[in-house]
Structures are given as C-alpha cells and as structure tokens.
Amino acid sequence: MQTNISYSKYGIVIYDKSNKILLDPSRHDHCDFTFISHAHSDHLAEKNNRSRSTLLMSKATCLIARSRGYKIDNFVEEHEGFELIDNGHILGSKGLLIDDCIYYTGDISIRERGSMKPAKLPVVDTLIIESTFGKSEYIFPTITEVVHKTNNIISELYDRGVPVILMGYSLGKAQVLTELFANWGPVYLHESIQKMNSIYRELGIPLIETLSHTDALSRGLLSKNKPWIMIAPLARSGSNFVKYMKSTYGAVTIGFSGWAIDKRYKFIMGLDYALPLSDHCDFHELVRVVEQCKPKKIFTHHGFAAEFSSSLRKMGFDAEPLCGISTRKTKPMGDIKNTMQVANHCLDVYM
C-alpha cells in the first residue's frame, strides 16, 4: 500500500503500508496507531475520549498528561517502523519518524533553553512541519538577549523595591523561566507551576525547590516594599490573580511569548512588559529545519501554513499546506481581532 498523507476531521492522518496513523488528533478515531507529540492540551484528545488504538508517546509525556487528568493506558515508546525523536519543544516532546522516510516534527524548537536541548533532525524524503511562526516577520531575538533585557528590568525594579511576576505558559515556558531566572531571590511559584515543576524534578530536571504563592502569603513573606520574584501562568491583566497582585503589592508583570514580536500583544494582554521567548522555531529556524532534513516533499500545518509553504516554494522546495488543518482553531495574527483570538486560544491550550 502506498503512503498517503491527508487531513481528516480530527487532524493529520497517514496511511502507511497496512497502518492508519493519527498525528496529535483533536479526538481519537479508529486507527492502528495514535501519536501524541507532547502534553499540551491542544495535542491531547479530549479527556473523556479514550483511544482504543496503540498510543505512541514518550514516558514523560504520558506522566505529564496523567498529572493533568488524562487517562492513558495503552502507550508505547517503541514500535517497529516508528522512532520517537527529541524535538526540543517541552519536556518529553517528540517528533515521529516513520519507516526512516517520513518525519512529523510536532511543535519544534532548535534553540537551547535551560535544560531544553535543540531538536534532532533526521534526513527524510517527506517532512510534515509545523508553521506556527512560519511568516518572515517572526524572527526572535537570541535567548541571551531576552535574558539580558529581563535581568535589566528586574534589577531596576529591585532597586526600587518593586516585586516582579514573570509570566509564561504553565507547562514548558514556566519551567524555562524557573531555570533562567533562579539566580534572583526570593523566587516563589504559582501553585499550578509548582505542581508542574515537581513533575519535572521527578523526571530528572533539577529545578529549584521553593515556596508556593499560598505558602509565601501565609508566612507573611510577600511585601509591597520588599522585592521578590514570582513565576505565574500567563494571564490577562483583568484576571483576579493579576489584579490582586498588582493592587496589593504593586507587582510589575513581564510576559513571555513568541507572539510578543507583535507590539500589540503587550497591550492586548495588559502586560507591563512583553518579551519574545518561544518554545517554537521562528521563521528562519523553520527554514533551517527544512534545509537540514533535506526532504523531497514538504507538508506545512499549524499557524501560517499557507504562507510558509509559499515561502518554501520560492526557495525551490516542493511544499504545500495540509488543507483544513487548524490546530490553533483561529486565524494567525493579522488584524487586531485575530491577534486577540490567538492570544486567548494560546492561554487556553498551554495552561
């Protein structure tokens, strides 16, 4: 049977030999194998929708997903014809190599960020690549630049006795922030992030152990005139948590997201500062992934799939978007309305 790659109502499906393989489906469907690249909720099917197929995922992804309330029974990390390859997105995230010729990247990053190492990239005939930031204006500063700018902001605020809240998605980004800014102190954690950090430690990532927001509050350690750092989930300024922290302690918020390249993002989210730090590749890095994988055929999906495939064709690659794919469930950034939609959706799926 010839390999066929298409899009079904639940996501990408591959027919390879005698197998039907679903890739990060929004809902489980009848198939032989279902691949789950990582434990963000937009890559896990609904919690009450259990698969009867064999699940391909890493042990770390399974443990994180279970901790988030997903019931996973029949998963494997290894199976003949399949290889799970580190893709650098979050802890446990993998790409899927099928028969040494088809590679599905999942969400991918080739930047080192704390303990997160760059993705490993196989040479393949067919590449299925995410295109979340697949438009040329999405070029991120280096990690060193982001850390330097953040440290300067924190230092200035510390001199004035102002507490700072570093905000990122609670799974993935928050753990990177914990590693990058652990040198400041005292550092406290929102409860949701403390829970996720403890799972990271169980899986071998040596994150600092520190007090939760509630514990620090009960011990009287939070003060309006004494500086401290808190790492919290990314949220709008109108959330109860952010309003309380700003009104009670005069805290300043610094949000981290790849979407912060768009200068409107800071104002949409109501952040004091917004810095571009992503667990995805930027446009140039996506092109580097393609160049290193040397594929004969490329399928793009997620975000700017049409734009990225068009850019690749201009570079001489055989590329096309997978029609119908819309894992973000909204249009990419463009006008201000779409920017707000993307911001809201990302808050939903990465919490």
3-state secondary structure of 54: strand
Gap between the Cα atoms of 327 and 330, Å rounded: 8
Q: What is the pLDDT of residue 332?
A: 45
Residue 148 lies in a domain: yes
Nearest to 297, CA basis, from 277, 284, 313, 282: 313
Whether 75 maps to a domain, the answer reads: yes
| CATH code for the domain in which residue 315 is found | 3.60.15.10
Q: Is residue 25 one of the residues assigned to a domain?
A: yes
Q: How far is the CA of 86 from the CAs of 83, 94, 236, 333, in angstroms?
A: 10, 5, 32, 28
In a domain, 153, yes or no: yes
Model confidence at 341, pLDDT cuts 50, 70, 90, reads low
Could you say which DSSP state residue 11 is in?
E
Count the Cβ atoms, other than its own, within 10 Å of residue 238.
9
d(C-alpha 183, C-alpha 181), whole Å? 5
In this model, does residue 337 exceed pLDDT 90? no
pTM given for the model: 0.90
Summarised one tens digit per residue, pLDDT across range 129-184 is: 999 999 999 999 999 999 999 999 999 999 999 999 999 999 999 999 999 999 99
Q: Is the pLDDT of residue 112 over 60?
A: yes
The verdict on 87 and 55 lying in the same domain is yes
The boundaries of the domain holding residue 162 are 143-275
- Among 239, 254, 275, the domain-final residue is 275
Q: What is the pLDDT of residues 237-295, one digit of tens each?
A: 999 999 999 999 999 999 999 999 999 999 999 999 999 999 999 999 999 999 999 99
Higher pLDDT, 139 or 3: 139
76 and 147 in one domain? no
Q: Does the residue 337 lie in any domain? A: no
Q: Confidence band (pLDDT; 50, 70, 90) for 1?
A: very low
Write out pLDDT tens, residues 76-110: 999 999 999 999 999 999 999 999 999 999 999 99
Q: What are the DSSP calls for 250-266, one per residue?
A: -PEEEEE-GGGGSTHHH
pLDDT for 113 equals 96
pLDDT band at 45 (very low <50, low <70, confident <90, very high): confident
Is residue 11 in some structural domain? yes
Residue 234's nearest CA partner among 281, 277, 187, 183 is 277
Residues 238 and 153 in one domain: yes
SS3 8: strand
- Is the pLDDT at 58 greater than 80? The verdict is yes
Half-sphere exposure of 223 (CA within 13 A, CB side): 11
Question: What is the mean pLDDT of the segment spanning 309-318?
Answer: 98
Going across the sheet that includes 94-98, the strands are 82-86, 94-98, 102-104, 126-130, 297-301, 319-321
Same domain, 164 and 262: yes
Pick from 259, 275, 291: which residue ends a domain? 275
Q: Which of 247, 275, 303 is the last residue of a domain?
A: 275
Task: Tell me: do 152 and 132 sit in the same domain.
Answer: no
Going by pLDDT thresholds of 50, 70 and 90, the confidence category of residue 42 is confident
CA 56/CA 240 separation, integer angstroms:
39
Q: What is the pLDDT at residue 7?
A: 86
Reduced to 3 states (helix: H, G, I; strand: E, B; else coil), residue 7 is strand
99 in any annotated domain: yes
Q: What is the model's pLDDT at position 173? A: 98
Q: Is residue 10 domain-shared with residue 130, that is, in the same domain?
A: yes
C-alpha–C-alpha distance, residues 46 and 65, integer Å: 11
Query: What pLDDT was estimated at residue 53?
Result: 84
Q: How confident is the model at residue 14 (pLDDT cuts 50, 70, 90)?
A: very high
The domain spanning residue 213 has which CATH number? 3.40.50.10890
Asked whether residue 254 falls in the same domain as residue 312, the answer is no
- Whether residue 106 is found in the same domain as residue 177: no
Neighbours of 32 (CB within 10 A): 14
Asked if residue 126 and residue 111 are part of one domain, the reply reads yes
127 and 22 share one domain: yes
Q: Do 190 and 96 reside in the same domain of the chain?
A: no
115-140 residues labelled b (16+ CB within 10 A) or e (exposed): ebebbebbebebbbbbbbbbbeebeb
Q: Return the residue matching tokens 């290889």.
A: 83
Confidence label for 333 from pLDDT (cuts 50, 70 and 90): very low
Please report the pLDDT score of residue 335 as a whole number.
45
Query: What Å distances lie between residue 185 and 155, 177, 231, 249, CA to CA?
Result: 11, 13, 12, 16
Q: What is the average pLDDT across 66-84? A: 91
The answer, yes or no, to whether residue 330 has pLDDT greater than 80, is no
**Domain annotation covers residue 338:** no
Query: Which pLDDT band, with edges at 50, 70 and 90, does 26 fall under?
Result: confident
Q: Please choose, from the candidates 314, 341, 309, 310, the residue with its C-alpha nearest in 3D space to the C-alpha of residue 328.
A: 341
Q: How confident is the model at residue 29, as a pLDDT?
A: 81
Whether residue 294 sits in one domain with residue 266: no
Report the number of distinct structural domains present in the chain.
2
Query: Across the chain, what does the average pLDDT equal?
Result: 90
Averaged over 100-121, what is the pLDDT?
97
CA distances from 89 to 21, 95, 109, 126, 286 (A): 22, 10, 5, 21, 13
322, 299 contact by CB (below 8 A): yes
